[in-house]
């Protein structure tokens, strides 16, 4: 490796949309050349190229520390990748030499990520086997109060069962500080059985610090069909995937992503003490990327639900005015961060309609979230209520750049966005929202013009 000063100045580079190096300052250009690359060809430093691709795909700036090979040695870099029109802008600093990588012993906690990815939900404990983490939706799905479990002994949630040899696998694992699997237990108060598996974790001193584990619901055996009965194929309502695809996707990703977001936010907020500013920024990037991915998971799960032939939202008496106020309140923090004001309806306004509260709130959060995203700093988002014959309407209006006439139906199509180069969602939100509105007997319409903002109208049937 060429000699490097302990800290070298920043080197700027630019990639086109295909990952090809358009131009670069000397340090980055020379590193790329030593890796076998040339200008006009794909960037030859894989760690930086991967970061650029991730930034471009997510549509957000990402900063992180990377270790790259440079000849027979390694070099430590701090790389910031930011999408721009037609490609990605790179800022590379640090340039600290370090000894070449050597294989390390297997990390059992990382190994545990693989077997936990198939779990129905996730849990963690401290060294005293007190619960420190549960998947955010576990209680709602399986009938217990998640919040009340934090800090409680694991046995408060699970009634552990002995195995055939009369042992409790989890206690043997505590003694040996080892991974365990096959611990059967009853989920207290529900009558449902689970299988627990976990890997141990240790503190910086090498002492046992608790378990990181998964819970697998044990279903009762289903009656066997007659031998001559036809075997039905799996339902595939969405993109050729079986009906269980969204449940497995949700199960495997929601818990880990929620934990990543929470921990990254905590690091970024420096709740445990001050950090270098670039590390805090790195943590914020992780949290933002995690939210983006979690939103995509939620969109894919909802997409499969709304495209099922038997999908039918509940028909409940709800107050559309209350739904709109709640959605606006949920997005207040995001609006404040964007310097956008949400002008909600008065507290005494009512709009009695029929629909499913949860789904109506989902539609409103999507509409208001989009309005905040596309509003200029200092702008305002208006929520207004109207009646149109036998329909109740809530209008979400913004001061954004507007939507051209020819794009106004396209934005309701699957995976469509007016400008794919702009930071934003998956292109599924409006498609799902319109499907939900129509499934509840209403509709979702748009009225807009370039430079005049956008006006979305969500309708549901009025109650008498």
Together in a domain, 329 and 424: yes
Q: How many residues does the chain have?
A: 464
Q: What's the whole-number mean pLDDT along residues 271-279?
A: 70
Question: Quick check: pTM over 0.85?
Answer: no
Could you tell me if residue 132 is inside a domain? yes
Could you tell me if residue 149 is inside a domain? yes
pLDDT band at 395 (very low <50, low <70, confident <90, very high): very high
Lowest-confidence pick of 36-45, 129-138, 282-291, 367-376: 282-291
Lowest-confidence pick of 95-99, 131-135, 167-171: 95-99
Together in a domain, 139 and 214: yes
Together in a domain, 321 and 406: yes
pLDDT in tens, 355-383: 998 889 889 988 998 999 889 999 999 99
**Spatial contact of 263 and 212, defined as CB atoms under 8 Å apart:** no
pLDDT at 433: 92
pLDDT at 15: 94
Question: Of the candidates 98, 129, 159, which is a domain's last residue?
Answer: 98
Together in a domain, 350 and 408: yes
Together in a domain, 340 and 276: no
Together in a domain, 168 and 262: no
Residue 303: pLDDT over 50:
yes
Burial class (CB in 10 A: 0-12, 13-18, 19+), 343: exposed
Residue 8: pLDDT over 60:
no
pLDDT at 221: 35
Could you tell me if residue 3 is inside a domain? no
What is the percent of the chain where pLDDT is above 90? Answer: 21
Domain limits for position 434: 316-461
Tokens of 409: 């139906």
Together in a domain, 295 and 336: no
Distances (CA, A) of 49 to 13, 16, 66, 90: 11, 11, 11, 10
* Tokens 């969602």, located at residue: 425
452: enclosing H helix or E strand: none
Question: Of the candidates 282, 311, 340, which is a domain's last residue?
Answer: 311
Distances (CA, A) of 120 to 142, 238, 260, 282: 10, 22, 18, 30
Question: Of the candidates 258, 286, 311, which is a domain's last residue?
Answer: 311
pLDDT in tens, 146-163: 777 877 888 888 888 887
Q: What's the whole-number mean pLDDT along residues 245-256?
A: 59
pLDDT at 232: 44
pLDDT in tens, 422-439: 655 667 889 889 999 999
Residue 384: pLDDT over 90:
yes
Could you tell me if residue 227 is inside a domain? no
pLDDT band at 28 (very low <50, low <70, confident <90, very high): very high
pLDDT at 418: 64
Average pLDDT of the chain, as a whole number: 78
* Tokens 């934090």, located at residue: 150
* Tokens 């849990």, located at residue: 123
Burial class (CB in 10 A: 0-12, 13-18, 19+), 139: middle
Q: β-strand 341-343 against 316-319: which pairing, if any?
A: unpaired
Together in a domain, 73 and 108: no
User: Please, where are the H alpha helices in 151-199?
Assistant: 154-157, 169-176
pLDDT at 252: 60
* Tokens 């009025």, located at residue: 462
Q: What's the whole-number mean pLDDT along residues 294-301?
A: 65
Together in a domain, 359 and 420: yes
Residue 4: pLDDT over 60:
no
Could you tell me if residue 1 is inside a domain? no
Lowest-confidence pick of 40-44, 71-75, 216-220: 216-220
Could you tell me if residue 323 is inside a domain? yes
pLDDT band at 421 (very low <50, low <70, confident <90, very high): low
Together in a domain, 306 and 327: no
If one compares 442 and 255, the residue with the highest pLDDT of the two is 442
Together in a domain, 323 and 457: yes
Could you tell me if residue 186 is inside a domain? yes
Order of strands across the sheet that contains 87-98: 21-24, 8-16, 87-98, 73-84, 62-70
**Spatial contact of 44 and 65, defined as CB atoms under 8 Å apart:** no
Could you tell me if residue 113 is inside a domain? yes
Together in a domain, 447 and 321: yes
pLDDT at 379: 92
pLDDT at 121: 81
pLDDT at 338: 87
Domain count, the chain: 4
If one compares 29 and 141, the residue with the highest pLDDT of the two is 29
pLDDT in tens, 54-101: 788 777 778 777 777 777 677 888 888 899 888 999 999 888 887 654
pLDDT in tens, 311-353: 888 898 999 999 999 888 888 878 888 899 999 877 788 999 9
CATH of the domain at 155: 3.30.450.20
Q: In angstroms, rounded to a whole number, what is the distance separating the alpha carbons of residues 40 and 23?
A: 8
pLDDT band at 397 (very low <50, low <70, confident <90, very high): very high
């Amino acid at each position: 490796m060429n000699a490097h000063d302990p800290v070298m100045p920043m080197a700027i580079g630019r990639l086109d949309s295909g990952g090809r190096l358009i131009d670069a300052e000397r340090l980055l250009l020379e590193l790329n050349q030593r890796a076998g690359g040339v200008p006009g060809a794909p960037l030859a430093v894989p760690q930086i190229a991967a970061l650029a691709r991730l930034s471009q795909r997510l549509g957000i700036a990402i900063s992180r520390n990377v270790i790259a090979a440079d000849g027979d040695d390694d070099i430590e870099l701090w790389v910031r990748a930011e999408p721009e029109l037609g490609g990605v802008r790179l800022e590379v600093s640090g340039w600290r030499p370090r000894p070449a990588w050597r294989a390390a012993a297997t990390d059992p906690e990382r190994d545990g990520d693989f077997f936990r990815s198939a779990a129905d939900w996730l849990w963690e404990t401290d060294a005293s086997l007190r619960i420190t983490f549960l998947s955010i939706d576990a209680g709602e799905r399986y009938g217990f109060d998640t919040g009340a479990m934090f800090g409680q002994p694991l046995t408060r949630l699970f009634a552990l069962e002995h195995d055939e040899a009369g042992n409790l696998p989890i206690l043997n694992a505590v003694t040996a500080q080892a991974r365990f699997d096959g611990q059967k237990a009853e989920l207290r108060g529900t009558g449902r059985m689970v299988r627990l598996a976990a890997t141990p974790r240790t503190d910086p001193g090498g002492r046992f610090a608790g378990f990181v584990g998964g819970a697998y619901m044990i279903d009762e055996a289903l009656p066997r069909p007659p031998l001559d009965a036809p075997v039905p194929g799996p339902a595939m309502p969405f993109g050729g995937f079986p009906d269980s695809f969204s449940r497995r996707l949700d199960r495997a990703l929601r818990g880990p992503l929620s934990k990543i977001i929470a921990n990254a936010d905590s690091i970024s907020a420096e709740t445990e003490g001050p950090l270098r500013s670039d590390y805090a920024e790195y943590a914020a990037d992780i949290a933002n990327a995690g939210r983006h991915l979690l939103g995509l998971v939620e969109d894919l799960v909802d997409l499969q639900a709304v495209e099922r032939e038997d999908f039918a939202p509940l028909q409940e008496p709800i107050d559309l005015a209350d739904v709109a106020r709640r959605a606006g309140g949920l997005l207040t923090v995001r609006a404040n961060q964007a310097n956008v004001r949400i002008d909600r309806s008065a507290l005494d306004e009512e709009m009695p309609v029929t629909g499913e509260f949860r789904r109506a709130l989902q539609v409103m959060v999507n509409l208001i979230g989009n309005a905040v995203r596309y509003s200029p700093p200092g702008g305002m988002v208006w929520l207004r209520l109207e009646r149109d014959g036998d329909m109740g309407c809530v209008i979400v209006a913004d001061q954004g750049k507007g939507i051209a006439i020819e794009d106004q139906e396209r934005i309701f199509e699957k995976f469509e966005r007016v400008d794919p180069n702009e930071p934003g969602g998956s292109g599924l939100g409006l498609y799902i929202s319109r499907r939900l509105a129509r499934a509840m007997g209403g509709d979702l319409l748009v009225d807009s013009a370039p430079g005049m903002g956008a006006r979305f109208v969500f309708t549901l049937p009025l109650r008498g």
